[in-house]
Structure 1
Amino acid sequence: MEKLIRGLIDFRKNKLPGLAPLFKQLAERGQKPDVLFFACADSRVVPNLMVSTDPGDLFVVRSVGNLVAPATASGISVGDVSEASAIEFSLAKLKIRHIVVCGHSRCGAIEAILNGRENYSALPNLKAWLAHGEAAFARLVRSPFIKDDLSAVDRLSQANVLQQLEHIASYANVRTLVDEGAITLHGWWFDVATGDVHVYDRERGGYILLDETEAERVLAGQSAFQHS
């Protein structure tokens, strides 16, 4: 807590003066992000730091395991409606153009899913929430491109990114906009040890290091995720 408080004082004293015009503009004109970014709640994953964005650039949703509960046939989330409401709001009100799901290495939530949820009987909410990641096992079987030299947790984590994109695509408004070419889905995976981000490239069937060359493919729409 001390680090947070001293950090706020440092921000107010040393950084806020330079950002004051931006905050004034955001207050007057509102936010206009073009990306809805789903990330894990893990404290080692910091989306704005990772992608060097300013306030107002990203609409971020963080959850344990970067999980998103899928929709029923009537369009209602089968789990917590928080993630579903963020999807609806960002599409209808913010008119975002991209949705990113970013998983990461050494994810504790994925490790818990891998080891079974029976040990979480004393944590009923967490146990129920982790169930939304169990479909990643089947996704991993269908994803031979995920490298065998990764740890079991990291392999499942990469499969989970793709599974959560499928969950997002289960919402009718998302499917419609994707099919119309109005929005694009992206799968990212952050390596905590190296700081590198790998993006899912559907044409090459795998996760590719996001360097300058791959960045151009992403911007050209060549690495987008296609829902089934």
Structure 2
Amino acid sequence: MRKLIMGIVEFREKMLPQYAKQFSKLALAQTPDALFITCSDSRVVPDLLASTHPGDLFTMRNVGNLIPPATAEGASTGDLSEASAIEYAVLVLKVANIVVCGHSECGAMKAVHTRNAKLKAPNLDRWLYHANNAAFRLEHEGPLDDRLKPHDQLSQLNVLVQLEHLMTYPIVHQQVTAGALVLSGWWFDIATGDMYAYERTSRSFEVIDRAMAERMIARLASRAR
């Protein structure tokens, strides 16, 4: 806690002068380009990994980067917090992109994979139910990358399942179909610091290096025309 408190002081004294004008503008409105959905894990820091600044990302974090699917009427089958963030991002902020980002060594994915019943956490058990489809796919269809540890194989598949859950929300489905919204699946390897993006053509997560980034940006630009 001391590190957290002193970090606030350091920001106030050293960084705030650089951001003062930006915060002044952001106080009036925000126009983020993307909704970034990722895990609560302390090792995953979106603004650091993407070199973004205040106002760039609308971020939603929870255990396991899970998105409870919606009913045909658009009502969440799980916690309202996630559904509210999705609605706000799409309807009010009008983001053009939604990214679901999983990561390696995810505690949530380890719990789902081992089905550890010893941990007395009934709320966590109910929450992790939303990753069961990913576990089913891993068991019956196999991993995207068999070189990874089983819980990391699950983590990658979980990203794809949560993207499918996103598409159950009518507002998301409508915007994607209209070409106004793009969904992307990313995966962060903590050990190497590399970020990967899912490529449908290769059915694999590929590292986002400069060449990959240029291809991704070109695709986004072609969709915007």
TM interval, short-chain normalised: over 0.9
Equivalence for 1:152: 150
Equivalence for 2:18: 18
Equivalence for 1:226: none
1:180–1:144 Cα change, 3 Å: farther
Alignment of 1:207-226 (within 5 A): 207-221=205-219
CA distance in 2, matches of 1:89, 1:207: 29
Give, as a single letter, the amino acid of the residue that structure 2 aligns with 1:102: C
Give deviations 1:164-187, integer Å, cap 9, x for gaps.
101111101111111111100000
CA distance in 2, matches of 1:144, 1:219: 30
Work out whether residues 117 and 127 of structure 1, in 8 Å CA contact, stay in contact via their aligned partners in 2: no
Identity of aligned residues (%): 50
CA distance in 2, matches of 1:217, 1:204: 14
Give, as a single letter, the amino acid of the residue that structure 1 aligns with 2:68: A
Give deviations 1:92-141, integer Å, cap 9, x for gaps.
10010000000000000000000115233x21111100000111023336
Size of the aligned set, in residue pairs, is 220
Alignment of 1:129-208 (within 5 A): 129-140=127-138, 146-208=144-206
Work out whether residues 143 and 154 of structure 2, in 8 Å CA contact, stay in contact via their aligned partners in 1: no
Work out whether residues 143 and 157 of structure 2, in 8 Å CA contact, stay in contact via their aligned partners in 1: no
DSSP 3-state at the match of 1:65: coil
Equivalence for 1:6: 6
Mind listing any 5+ residue stretches in structure 2 that lack a counterpart? 221-225
Equivalence for 1:225: none
Q: Which runs of 4+ in 1 moved over 4 A?
A: 141-145
Residue 89 of structure 1, CA deviation? 0.5
DSSP 3-state at the match of 2:219: coil
Q: CA RMSD in A?
A: 1.4
1:44–1:98 Cα change, 3 Å: same
CA distance in 2, matches of 1:168, 1:142: 23
Equivalence for 1:78: 77
1:199–1:142 Cα change, 3 Å: farther
Q: TM-score, normalised by structure 1?
A: 0.93
Give, as a single letter, the amino acid of the residue that structure 1 aligns with 2:14: N
CA distance in 2, matches of 1:105, 1:144: 17
The more displaced of 145-154 and 44-53 is: 145-154
Give deviations 1:8-63, integer Å, cap 9, x for gaps.
010000000111010001113x1000100001000000000000001000000000
Q: TM-score, normalised by structure 2?
A: 0.94
